[in-house]
Amino acid sequence: MSDPETTRPPAARPGGRTRGAGRLRPGQAPGAFGVAPFLEAQADEVDWQGSLGLNTAHCTIVVVDVEGFGRRSRTNPNKVRIRRGMYRALERAFVTAEIQWAGCRHVDLGDGVLVLAPAQISKTLFVDLLLEALTDELVAHNIAHLPPERIRLRLALHAGEVSYDDHGVTGSSILHAQQLLDAPELKQALAETKAVLAVIASDWVFDEVIRHSERSGADTYQAVETSGGRAWIRLLARRRDLARRRRLG
């Protein structure tokens, strides 16, 4: 069930144009980290009557957003700390899962982030290690913050072809991941529990990756029918005694 106090910020989803956060950093060569080179042609050189050559690459797609980010009870300072905590949790979880954060492309969404990982990064790292690592990081953040700055995330996991141009990224695979993230079934599942992370995996990711891995917790996923087709939901809370692990580590 959606939060009645929640209003999404006006940041545009990357269905076509994306924001500057998703562009290559200075000194980063086009094509690095699985990002396809941008088209060289200027806009007025494109033959709109003919075929259009696309720059595409296969990516693992991770989209997250913060539950209730825009609710009125959260001030702007609260939101800034939440964003900082979200990025810190993601970056640390990627390190734990042995996925190079800098080797992925990121597009800021205001209340979340789109992450595109190149095809050479094993998808099993996302389902075996990343989700539980992210859960631990969210728990750690919430222990250290007051309720208005605590984070519960929704996360969609998909994979497919992504198209690049000099404005950013687009493609049906990205749109499908975003549809999954906005699925009422996922929002309701998180709202009805105390979990800190609600994951929705596309049917393709579940069938090709999750169910074949003995470390993915495949039996903890529940099949749901969304407007975009079948998907699989998993809720994660506290994976293990975080305080004890950090005391010993």
Quick one: which H or E segment has residue 185?
helix 184-191
Q: What is the pTM of this model?
A: 0.77
Task: Report the percent of the chain where pLDDT is more than 90.
Answer: 70
Q: How confident is the model at residue 41 (pLDDT cuts 50, 70, 90)?
A: very low
Domain ranges within the chain, ordered by starting residue? 55-248
Residue pointed to by tokens 């580590």: 249
Cα 64 to Cα 157: distance, rounded to the nearest angstrom? 9
Q: What is the pLDDT of residue 52?
A: 65
DSSP-based three-state secondary structure for 87: helix
**What is the CA 135 to chain-centroid distance, rounded?**
14
CA distances, 113 to each of 156, 172, 231 (Å): 11, 17, 20
Q: What is the pLDDT of residue 182?
A: 97
Q: What is the pLDDT of residue 139?
A: 97
Q: Which residue has the higher pLDDT, 203 or 248?
A: 203
Q: Tell me which CATH homologous superfamily contains domain 55-248.
A: Nucleotide cyclase, GGDEF domain (3.30.70.1230)
pLDDT digits (tens, 9 = 90+) for 5-24: 444 444 444 444 344 444 44
